């Protein structure tokens, strides 16, 4: 094990392992304090960043943060590493890689940045993000292109999609339908109409899948549905003939974390194969959807790496992206601000984490979305989520999650509203997916300038859609 050290302001700082160096170099957040691995002073943090900047990228191929022998995520990541994709940056240090990325971003060289994905490991990407300021994270993510498709095409330039999240505390079909229609009337739902079910009951999952499928079929909406049940429940529903577009699963960056979620890599591969076989996509064949979030490994006591030492939550989050990437997802989103103040304490930490997650996911090749959200015991409010939303829009985020009036009445937290997504699109000049935009036009929901019209309940377009509930 290499001990790395530097001197800053007359003090010498030593970092006994790569995991320790990454943790100390991480911008402040409560979860790393809780895990006992955060920098103990501002100077120690910057000293760690200095040292990290000089670490060659190849080090991350030779020196593990979570051991190869004891963790199947590490094995997946290293066994599928693509040396040809890595070649353009193989000679760089972490600091040099930051400069390279900013340089290519400024030159609008999307191909160079986007082509790296399979050559990068999550630890490399986590490392470089720790040296970047928020604007760096935005600038580079904006020039990273990841395009995926099922019934709509996500990730195209100038587009911002949204997941319509019509949750209901008892999965009441009329209640769910009300929220779906409200979202569609606000131009939301092009990424997915995705329901978190109130229970994991197989019958209920099938009923919800049929409900959303009926709405999509009736109006021929070029989008996809998802009921975010455990992957095994979805596969069972699929085998019973339920209309499954996407298989969903929360994933973690360690084998122990995935075990905590009740999944293995093999299980995810089987679920993907089953969904692919249905062939329900029209413009693309991406059939998986994953959610992640900083702190989930720590909360499951699955955050340890080499020697049983804790790994920082942002590096582990990137490793979860490495898992997701393997299954060629249509959608991936981090849920930033849901898990609580013991992981991300306030608006500053939530904004930072949201931008890191988006940047890292995209650089690793993921169609990255974000659930910009907060709970009532976190020091976050609508001003903070506005800031993160607009920054993500500028960063070329694939999709944002939206719920009626920002209030998720099932999960009891606040996410963005449908109106917020309209604001982000109009302020930043972004549009829905092309297929969905054409559908909105067909339904007479767009004005001459292509903006979602503000309609009274009596408007024919509204009456036509709401007839579905009768």
Partner 1 sequence: MTTPEGAEVATSAPSRDPWAVLRQATRARVALGRAGDGLPTARELEFRAAHAVARDAVHTALDTGRVRAALAAAGVGLDVLEVHSAAPDRATYLQRPDLGRRPAEGTTLPCGSYDLAVVVADGLSPRAVHEHAAGTVAAVLERLPGWEVAPLVVASQARVALGDPVGEALGARIVVVLVGERPGLSSADSLGLYLTWGPRPGRVDAERNCISNVRPPHGLDYAQAADTLVALLQASRQLGASGVVLKDEGVTLPPGAG
Q: Point out which residues bind partner 1 (CB under 8 A).
A: 30, 33-34, 166-169, 172-179, 181-182, 207, 211, 214-215, 341-342, 345, 375-377, 381-382, 403-407, 409, 412, 414, 417, 419, 422-423, 425-426, 454, 457-458, 462-463, 466, 468-470
Nearest approach, Cβ of residue 264 and partner 1 (Å): 22
Q: Give residues with Cβ within 8 angstroms of 14, minimum separation 6.
A: 3, 4, 5
Shorter beta-carbon distance to partner 1: residue 270 or 444: 444
Shorter beta-carbon distance to partner 1: residue 87 or 469: 469
CA separation for the pair 407, 415 (Å, rounded) = 7
Q: What share of the chain is helix, strand, coil (3-state, %, to 5)?
A: 50, 15, 40
Q: Give residues with Cβ within 8 angstroms of 272, minimum separation 6.
A: 247, 287, 288, 327, 328
Task: Tell me the H-state helices in 279-381.
Answer: 296-299, 313-325, 347-363
Instruction: Please give the C-alpha separations between residue 257 and each of 120, 146, 295, 300, 322, in angstroms, as whole numbers.
Output: 22, 26, 11, 7, 14
Shorter beta-carbon distance to partner 1: residue 12 or 376: 376
Nearest approach, Cβ of residue 195 and partner 1 (Å): 12
Nearest approach, Cβ of residue 409 and partner 1 (Å): 5
Shorter beta-carbon distance to partner 1: residue 54 or 172: 172
Nearest approach, Cβ of residue 326 and partner 1 (Å): 31
The three-class DSSP label of residue 333 is strand
Shorter beta-carbon distance to partner 1: residue 85 or 214: 214
Shorter beta-carbon distance to partner 1: residue 149 or 432: 432
Nearest approach, Cβ of residue 414 and partner 1 (Å): 7
CA separation for the pair 121, 323 (Å, rounded) = 11
Nearest approach, Cβ of residue 332 and partner 1 (Å): 25
The three-class DSSP label of residue 322 is helix
CA separation for the pair 238, 130 (Å, rounded) = 41
């Amino acid at each position: 094990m290499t001990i790395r050290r530097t001197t800053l302001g007359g003090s010498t700082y030593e970092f006994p392992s790569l995991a320790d160096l990454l943790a100390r170099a991480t911008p402040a957040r409560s979860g790393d304090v809780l895990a006992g691995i955060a920098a103990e002073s501002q100077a120690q943090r910057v000293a760690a960043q200095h040292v990290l900047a000089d670490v060659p990228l190849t080090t991350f191929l030779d020196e593990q943060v979570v051991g190869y022998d004891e963790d199947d995520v590490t094995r997946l990541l290293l066994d599928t590493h693509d040396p040809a994709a890595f070649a353009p940056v193989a000679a760089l240090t972490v600091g040099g890689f930051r400069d390279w990325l900013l340089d290519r971003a400024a030159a609008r060289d999307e191909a160079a940045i986007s082509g790296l994905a399979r050559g990068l490991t999550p630890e490399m990407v986590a490392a470089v993000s720790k040296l970047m300021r928020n604007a760096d994270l935005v600038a580079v993510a904006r020039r990273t292109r990841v395009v995926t498709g099922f019934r709509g095409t996500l990730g195209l330039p100038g587009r911002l999609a949204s997941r319509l999240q019509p949750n209901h505390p008892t999965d009441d079909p009329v209640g769910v339908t009300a929220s779906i229609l409200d979202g569609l009337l606000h131009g939301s739902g092009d990424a997915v109409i995705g329901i978190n079910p109130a229970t994991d009951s197989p019958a209920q999952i099938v009923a919800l899948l049929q409900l959303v499928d009926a709405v999509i079929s009736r109006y021929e909406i070029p989008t996809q549905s998802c009921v975010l049940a455990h992957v095994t429940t979805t596969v069972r529903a699929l085998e019973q003939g339920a209309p499954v577009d996407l298989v969903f699963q929360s994933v973690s960056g360690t084998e122990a974390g995935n075990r905590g979620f009740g999944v293995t890599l093999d299980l995810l591969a089987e679920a993907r194969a089953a969904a692919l076989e249905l062939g329900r996509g029209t413009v693309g064949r991406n059939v998986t959807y994953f959610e992640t979030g900083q702190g989930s490994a720590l909360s499951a006591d699955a955050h340890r790496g080499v020697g049983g030492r804790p790994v920082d939550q942002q590096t582990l989050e990137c490793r979860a992206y490495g898992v997701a990437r393997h299954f060629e997802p249509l959608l991936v989103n981090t849920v930033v601000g849901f898990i609580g103040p013991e992981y991300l304490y306030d608006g500053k930490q939530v904004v930072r984490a949201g931008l890191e997650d988006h940047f890292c996911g995209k650089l690793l090749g993921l169609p990255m979305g974000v659930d910009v959200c907060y709970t009532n015991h976190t020091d976050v409010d609508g001003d903070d989520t506005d800031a993160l939303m607009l920054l993500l829009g500028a960063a070329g985020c694939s999709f944002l999650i939206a719920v009626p009036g920002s209030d998720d009445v099932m999960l009891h937290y606040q996410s963005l509203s449908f109106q917020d997504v309209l604001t982000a699109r109009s302020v930043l000049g972004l549009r829905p997916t092309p297929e969905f935009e054409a559908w909105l036009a067909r339904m007479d929901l767009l004005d001459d300038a292509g903006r979602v019209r503000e309609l009274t309940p009596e408007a024919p377009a509204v009456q036509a859609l709401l007839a579905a509930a009768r």
